[in-house]
Amino acid sequence: MDQPLSLKQLVQIVPVEEKIKQQVFSEEDRLTADQKYRISKLCWALLSTIFEERMRQKSQAMLKEMAEEGKEYEQEDFRRLEDEVMADLLIKLDEVKSQKELSEIKSQLKASITEKQQKTQTTPTLQRQTQTIL
Task: Tell whether 62 is covered by a domain.
Answer: no
Task: Tell whether 73 is covered by a domain.
Answer: no
Task: Tell whether 59 is covered by a domain.
Answer: no
Which whole-number Å values give the CA distances from 107 to 19, 35, 65, 103, 114, in the listed order? 28, 22, 31, 6, 11
Task: Tell whether 115 is covered by a domain.
Answer: yes
What total of structural domains would you count in the chain? Answer: 1
Task: Tell whether 18 is covered by a domain.
Answer: yes
* Residue 98: CB atoms within 10 Å: 8
Task: Tell whether 106 is covered by a domain.
Answer: yes
CB-based contact 106:86 (threshold 8 Å): yes
- Give the DSSP letter string of 21-85: HHHHHHHGGG--HHHHHHHHHHHHHHHHHHHHHHHHHHHHHHHHHHHHH-----HHHHHHHHHHH
Which structural domain, as residue segments, surrounds residue 86? 7-53+80-120
pLDDT in tens, the chain (134 residues): 445 678 888 888 888 899 999 999 999 999 999 999 999 999 989 989 999 999 999 999 999 999 999 999 999 998 899 889 988 877 766 555 566 777 777 788 788 878 777 765 544 555 565 556 65
Whether pTM > 0.85 for this model: the answer is no
Task: Tell whether 111 is covered by a domain.
Answer: yes
Task: Tell whether 25 is covered by a domain.
Answer: yes
